[in-house]
């Protein structure tokens, strides 16, 4: 369900935040916007997984994560699962840029949510307002939007896991396979059979396009997922997180994680 808000009143221009669009439990269709939109967008994934491309950088948006897109930022997104359901809002305001930077929303991209209810709670408030007959409704929308941003600031962390978009479809097939099977033992022979290429040609093609080997990319995917799981599942041991991400050896996981991220898994978990 999507609502658009078009109000010609000058009063709306005077509000600190103005609501442009509201999406509630929306089964998201593919979107392509080469020049972006003129307002900010916040998304929250409530079901499934999708691919988000912002300014030619690709990220994966999973259930329980959010994404922020700044105005005039070229972007596209589509579901990677049969169901990809989102809440979202679009908003603007004269001091939006300064406000977002103050609230640790410095850039477009995917964000981890340590509180998985805060976005839905505010979306429900906006939905309730939409159904009411009342004066000064735009001011009420502005209040809820402002409250949402304040509450988000204490429970989000930017996840810098985007990679440059490549046009080669075979490379994208390999990446999709790695994203889907990172938790399992994966061999080059397995991948070559999947994409129906010789192992040698496949490795050469991937290295030319991505400037790294397939197995190094797989390692990056696993570490990226580990970063998410360490924050998303604080009750789980690091040993369990390692296994969830395809690492059979906890000590090797710890070594690679520190090499890639600069801190141990335990210290990373405690950093938010």
List pLDDT tens digits, range 120-176: 999 999 999 988 888 888 889 999 999 999 999 999 988 876 666 655 678 878 888
Q: Mind listing the pLDDT tens digit for each residue in 186-231?
A: 999 999 999 999 999 999 988 877 778 999 889 988 988 888 888 8
C-alpha dihedral over 83, 86, 90, 95, to 10 degrees? Answer: -130
* CATH code at 166-269: 1.10.10.60
Backbone torsions φ then ψ of 154, nearest 5 degrees = -90, 0
Give the pLDDT of residue 162. 66
Instruction: Give the pLDDT confidence of 46-101 residue by residue, as tens digits.
Output: 998 888 989 888 888 989 999 999 999 999 888 888 789 999 999 998 889 999 99
- Count CA atoms within 13 Å of residue 182 on its CB side: 22
Mean pLDDT, the chain, integer: 88
Q: Looking at residue 11, what is its pLDDT?
A: 47
Average pLDDT over residues 102-107: 92
Return the C-alpha torsion angle 162, 165, 170, 174, nearest 10: 0
Q: At what angle do helices 214-232 and 199-210 cross, to 10 degrees?
A: 60
Q: Give residue limits of the domains in the chain.
A: 2-159, 166-269
Interhelix angle 137-153/118-131, nearest 10 degrees: 180
Whether this model's pTM surpasses 0.75: no
pLDDT tens, position by position, 222-244: 988 888 888 878 899 999 999 99
The answer to whether residue 38 scores a pLDDT higher than 70 is yes
* pLDDT at res. 159: 82
CATH of domain 2-159: 2.60.120.280
User: DSSP letters along 106-119, please?
Assistant: -SSEEEEES-SSHH
**pLDDT digits over 72-87, tens only?**
999 988 888 878 999 9
């Amino acid at each position: 369900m999507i609502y658009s808000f078009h109000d010609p009143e000058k009063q709306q221009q005077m509000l600190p935040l103005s609501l442009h669009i509201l999406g509630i439990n929306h089964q998201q269709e593919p979107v392509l916007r080469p020049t972006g939109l003129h307002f900010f967008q916040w998304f929250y994934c409530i079901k499934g997984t999708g691919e988000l491309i912002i300014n030619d950088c690709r990220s994966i948006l999973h259930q329980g994560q959010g994404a922020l897109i700044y105005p005039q930022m070229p972007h596209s997104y589509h579901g990677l699962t049969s169901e990809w359901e989102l809440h979202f809002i679009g908003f603007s305001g004269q001091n939006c840029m300064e406000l977002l930077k103050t609230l640790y929303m410095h850039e477009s991209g995917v964000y981890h949510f340590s509180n998985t209810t805060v976005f839905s709670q505010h979306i429900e408030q906006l939905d309730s307002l939409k159904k009411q007959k009342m004066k000064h409704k735009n001011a009420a929308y502005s209040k809820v939007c402002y409250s949402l941003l304040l509450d988000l600031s204490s429970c989000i962390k930017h996840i810098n896991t985007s990679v440059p978009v490549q046009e080669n479809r075979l490379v994208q097939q390999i990446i999709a396979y790695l994203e889907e099977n990172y938790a399992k033992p994966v061999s080059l022979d397995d991948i070559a059979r999947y994409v129906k290429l010789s192992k040698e040609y496949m490795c050469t093609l991937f290295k030319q396009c991505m400037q790294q080997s397939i197995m190094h990319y797989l390692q990056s995917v696993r570490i990226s997922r580990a970063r998410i799981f360490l924050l998303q599942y604080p009750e789980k041991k690091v040993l369990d997180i390692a296994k969830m991400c395809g690492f059979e050896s906890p000590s090797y996981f710890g070594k690679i994680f520190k090499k890639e991220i600069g801190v141990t898994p335990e210290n990373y978990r405690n950093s938010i």
